[in-house]
Chains A and B, each alone.
Chain A
């Protein structure tokens, strides 16, 4: 655990970058520092590894003051990842990653072997090992930066806007990878960003700082969205925080119906019967595997399922994975669907049911009622696990385990 205890940083020119900041950063989880530019995020992060010396208060690492050990030993126990990776342009990728192990006295072969293992772990192809940084894309360089920080297996990882210089698609991939790696390694990560969406996606806890280095709110992301402490935090969260909070509600309890679903090999009689039974103007046609093909209009009643050509169907839009993706995904599918109905599928992409916007709205009301508008911390930990499930089941397990431990 890292305890930041009424820490102040006043730069020599008189700028107070951080003012009486207190935070407890729990072990084995991701704590995000977020806030507008110049609010003291980088300063706070750098005070932890003493690249910036605090001018007031103290920081404890596992109960011991960070000044209790030699500064370079402290730094080597903390990986550090920055925006443009900051790779050593004159060293190959494998030697970049092996830097800290080599400094710790590992022999060259062992350090290189470790570096290659890490390249694999962060998703870098082994063929890149002998390249130089300029021969890599920005996203690849950032992965090298992460691998390099992990090389000596430090318990703490400090990350300063590591993904803000890559394009949005690569950023999403890197975020998901970070969650995957974190599920495997369970580091204590302090992550700085100015992007509130990134904070909510990655953070187990989020600290919102305001300009002048003051803590505005420190809470799990779900609680941040449901109960912003003040107008500043609310403003910083943006206008659609209600919708975004739905990411923390699982779709597992959503009521589905199978009535309007019909297989492509059905006869005309079966189609007519289904139309009458469901009372819906549309039927969802599936292939023989149960995968969705599209929605049929009223005309379908006259013909058999097989007689319909796929071209005549209305597109079914993106389906959501039932129980794994959140109510936000379900709502999004329904809103984008030409029929207003969302299609729920299982892991294999087979239809398990459909649900209407009205039903989703009821589920949202139900979820809110159950949790209360403020959202208790335990509920939000669960919600975080549920959201992570959308990315990877392994992460969900580890996060659930974590929330139990906390």
Chain B
């Protein structure tokens, strides 16, 4: 057992410490991403012409490899956690904006007309009707962002050992200790699965009104012109959450 959980001292963290660090580096960016994505998405819904340029910019950002990001950022923010979290925030933003926009737009025109006819103003309509109904779509985006963020943190190893479980992986390679590699990969995958499951649970609690199986969410998230890469990822994650999440996490971690 020790072969798997005996952390090399240069990591400066216990096993659990690494997990905590990993989660913080992975999930804070998702949270920041959400905070920024909500108003951006609202602007895109309000001003329709804004959506395609925003989509274009975010897609281009998504296409930049994280390493390139780090290299640019390191001049400004140094070899710190911040340098790892900024690109992750951007990636989350890229996933969340279309998810929220599609979710909000998926609210049926009938429902919107009814709300207007009952004297809801635009703000009330957004907060009390569109946003709550978009929750399943938003969560589809959140799950995807969280899982990919968890797997991407490991890349932080390359800039001043800021990769948490990724550092463990690197150490395993450096010291030729295969068990450490296994621990790193398996733990990363398990974290992804657990966080994803937690998000599903929260979503279920937030949406007692959704038909079982969350079909309406999938409908909302799948539509409209989004770059094919993102669409494929969103829908596959929404349809078969656990296996896809685990596979993505494993692939990324091994890479």
**A interface residue numbers (CB < 8 A to B):** 49, 51, 71-73, 75-76, 78, 80, 82-92, 99-100, 103, 132-134, 145, 148, 158
Please, which residue of chain B has its CB at the minimum distance from the CB of A96? Answer: B114
A83 vs B129: C-alpha distance in the bound complex, in angstroms? 19
CB contact list, B199-225 vs A, under 8 A? 207-211, 216
**Stretch from B36-44, B69-77, B117-125 at the A interface:** B117-125
A353 vs B7: C-alpha distance in the bound complex, in angstroms? 102
Residues of A close to B132: CB separation below 8 A: 90
- Is B111 part of the binding interface, using a Cβ–Cβ cutoff of 8 Å? yes
Please, which residue of chain B has its CB at the minimum distance from the CB of A100? Answer: B118
Taking the closest CB of chain A, its distance from the CB of B135, in whole angstroms, is 8
- Is B116 part of the binding interface, using a Cβ–Cβ cutoff of 8 Å? yes
- Is B240 part of the binding interface, using a Cβ–Cβ cutoff of 8 Å? no
- Is B110 part of the binding interface, using a Cβ–Cβ cutoff of 8 Å? yes
Q: Apart from A99-B118, A103-B120, A134-B211, what 5 extra A-B contacts exist at CB < 8 Å?
A: A75-B116, A76-B118, A86-B110, A88-B111, A158-B117
Residues of B close to A89: CB separation below 8 A: 111, 133, 209, 216
- At the interface, is chain A mostly helix, strand, loop or mixed? mixed
A78 vs B116: C-alpha distance in the bound complex, in angstroms? 12
Residues of A close to B116: CB separation below 8 A: 51, 75
Residues of A close to B216: CB separation below 8 A: 89, 134
Given A73-B119, A99-B118, A90 contacting B209 (CB threshold 8 A): yes
Residues of A close to B52: CB separation below 8 A: none
Would B108 and A100 count as touching, CB distance under 8 A? no
For this complex, 14 residue pairs linking A to B, each with C-beta atoms less than 8 Å apart, are A72-B120, A75-B117, A76-B118, A76-B119, A80-B113, A80-B117, A82-B110, A82-B113, A85-B110, A86-B108, A86-B114, A88-B129, A89-B216, A132-B208
Would A134 and B118 count as touching, CB distance under 8 A? no
A165 vs B110: C-alpha distance in the bound complex, in angstroms? 13
Would A80 and B133 count as touching, CB distance under 8 A? no
Taking the closest CB of chain A, its distance from the CB of B208, in whole angstroms, is 7
Taking the closest CB of chain A, its distance from the CB of B103, in whole angstroms, is 12
A99 vs B207: C-alpha distance in the bound complex, in angstroms? 19
Please, which residue of chain A has its CB at the minimum distance from the CB of B118? Answer: A100
Taking the closest CB of chain B, its distance from the CB of A53, in whole angstroms, is 13
A27 vs B216: C-alpha distance in the bound complex, in angstroms? 42
Residues of B close to A158: CB separation below 8 A: 117
**Among B110, B119, B135, B209, which residue has its beta carbon within 8 angstroms of that of A91?**
B209
